[in-house]
Amino acid sequence: MNRLKGLVAAQVDQAIERAIASYHAFAQAEPQSTDPKEFAAHHAACKAALAHLDLLLKIARITETPAPGTSDTADDRLATLAVAREAVGAIAGGDEEEE
């Protein structure tokens, strides 16, 4: 099981970084149309991206082991998670709905 956690840990940090960058770029590109359906679709897509990021953060928390080939400690990864959560909160404006 530790081997599998190591394999996941090696990729989850990069996936989190890509997801944050992708979400940020997409969220900044508000629809130019005033059509309410386009607006709703854009915000639904943003919400889905945040759910994806949240899932990645949960996976990272489960795999709190150093990524293979790095000198990261569990504490280093927790600090990275904290920064990622702050970034998501800042991007989302701290207004996330619970489902």
Give pLDDT tens digits for 18-61: 999 998 898 888 888 889 999 899 989 999 999 999 899 888 88
pLDDT score, position 48: 92
Whole-angstrom CA distances from 56 to 14, 34, 36, 59 are 10, 33, 30, 5
